[in-house]
Chain A
Amino acid sequence: MSALLTVRGLTAGYGGATALDDVSLSLAAGETVALLGANGAGKSTLLKALLGLVPAWGELRFDGADLGGLATETRVRRGIGYVPEGRRVFPGMSVRDNLEVAGLPAARERAQDVERIFALFPDLALKSGESAWRLSGGQQQMLSLGRALMGRPRLLLLDEPSLGLSPRLADELFVAVRRIAGTGTAVLLAEQSAARALTVAPRAVLLRVGRVVGDGPVASLSEETLREVFFGV
């Protein structure tokens, strides 16, 4: 399979502090990969660096083209969708407007995509005209995921989607993630809950203190490796 995303020697940080150090990984089209690591391992920074939301150095290629130097909005238009940690819906806008703002320029296609999202998340359809701040945490997470899908991404970056959700809502959300992955969209899923992430991803990349310390099929990950990544023992 040809690589949809190629990252080589990526370094990123905030101020003087380095959060990612010489990170390399690749993702094939339609592949789902879990990005595992303890809090502070650099998972969120890696996703933000892919999107250009934090300064980063190194080689970044998406679908064969160099992403280096491109603005975030350009990377999104090239086919990268992003679901941030903490949902970050636009609180003063309606559910429909939250979806439409991330949609394609053509109104007709946009309207079709909104209906597609409402079919995936029927709860959102019922709240279409309501302001996003009125939604529950689970509904806001669905809205954030739906919003990322409005740009018809070929790669979806998910940052801790189950954070703050009840186990039942988190399970529902992962059902939706599986369905999205089933449509051929590649997914890079940063998640602290390894058990949950590995239910949707056949491959995992392990991060520890900003460095890749493991990359391979889930079956090859031993309990000791995971323990070392999460607890350092």
Chain B
Amino acid sequence: MAALQLLVNGVALGAAYALVALGFVLVLNATSAVNFAQGDLVMAGGLLAVALAPLIPLPGIVLLPVVLVLMAALGLLLALAAYLPLRRRPPVSVFISTIAVGIILQNGAAILFGPEPRAAPPLFGDDTLHIAGLAVPEQSLAIVAVAGLLIGAQQWVFARTQLGRRLRATAQDPEMARACGVPVTAMILVTFAIGAACAGAAGLLLANRYFVTPTSGGDLILKAYIAVTVGGWGSVPGAVVGALLIALFEVGVSSVLSYPVALGALYLTLLAILVLRPQGLFGEAVRRRG
């Protein structure tokens, strides 16, 4: 029973992590650039929900579309300021510029909100449901449902629409995409917007149960990075599965030992994967793509 309880908690956390990793891997695929601001965008989404809550005193699910739109706009700004001017420079330029954006977001948040932890409103309610002996917080169910819906919607767009085809073509071969009439720069902007919207959604989902502080993004970018490494660099399904595995690992080890031990074990596992299976779980598919 305890294991089932941990599974429920782990899946809820993993669903939110999956959104973070998904946004990270989409930008990585479209631009070959690592967006180190992704974790801080999650923090920004959480604090945005905190800031909006008094203005729109309704459940978090009503705030979600507002957070998605505002975060997408922030993603566009990030692309315009920190990626597009530097895209023909060596990749390290974009690494540094996204790190700089992350620091700006952290310090901006610290000035506006202070260092103390804040909680966003729950998506639906605060109650705990008792199902077959398991205590399942409504928020956990809502996180899984909302994250699943957003990931599913995104996969549908990518698989079934012309926008999705254009985004995938841009990710696979930008020059050839241009030669097929795809407006590649616009697609890169859309990708940054989607990536930031994913981060914002994750921020809203996480900021109720796990709170949000201006520095909480640092931990999340590492987890997104680990999820993408575990799943296979560049693999979208791999990033989602990697995020779920990380969360289950974190919840499981934390319950037996402690959170710091879980975090340490997670980084050790990352090192082991890099040595033993550097292509990650879905690495074979990624290799074939090239």
Interface of A toward B, CB cutoff 8 Å = 51, 53, 71-73, 76-77, 82, 84, 88, 90-93, 97, 100-103, 105, 107, 110, 133, 147-148, 150-151
Q: How far is the CB of B287 from chain A (nearest CB, A)?
A: 10
Contact pick for A76, options B162, B168, B180, CB 8 Å: B180
Report whether A97 and B288 are in contact in the complex, using a CB–CB cutoff of 8 Å: no
Interface of B toward A, CB cutoff 8 Å = 162, 165-166, 168-169, 172-173, 175-184, 288-290
Contact pick for A92, options B162, B168, B180, B181, CB 8 Å: B168
Report whether A84 and B180 are in contact in the complex, using a CB–CB cutoff of 8 Å: no
Report whether A53 and B179 are in contact in the complex, using a CB–CB cutoff of 8 Å: yes
* Given A90-B173, A100-B162, A151:B168 Cβ within 8 A: no
Report whether B175 and A92 are in contact in the complex, using a CB–CB cutoff of 8 Å: no
Report whether A76 and B179 are in contact in the complex, using a CB–CB cutoff of 8 Å: yes
* Given A100-B165, A101-B166, A73:B184 Cβ within 8 A: yes
Give the nearest-CB partner of A92 in chain B: B289
Report whether B180 and A97 are in contact in the complex, using a CB–CB cutoff of 8 Å: no
Docked Cα-Cα span, A96 to B267, in Å, equals 41
Report whether A93 and B172 are in contact in the complex, using a CB–CB cutoff of 8 Å: yes
Report A-chain residues with C-beta under 8 Å of the C-beta of B290: 91
* Given A92-B168, A100-B162, A133-B289, A84:B181 Cβ within 8 A: no
Which 5 pairs across A and B sit closest by C-beta, in order of nearness?
Answer: A102-B180, A76-B181, A101-B165, A72-B178, A92-B289
Docked Cα-Cα span, A88 to B183, in Å, equals 18
Give the nearest-CB partner of B182 in chain A: A73
Q: How far is the CB of A119 from chain B (nearest CB, A)?
A: 21
Report A-chain residues with C-beta under 8 Å of the C-beta of B288: 91-92, 133
Give the nearest-CB partner of B180 in chain A: A102
Report whether A97 and B165 are in contact in the complex, using a CB–CB cutoff of 8 Å: yes
Docked Cα-Cα span, A100 to B181, in Å, equals 11
Give the nearest-CB partner of A102 in chain B: B180
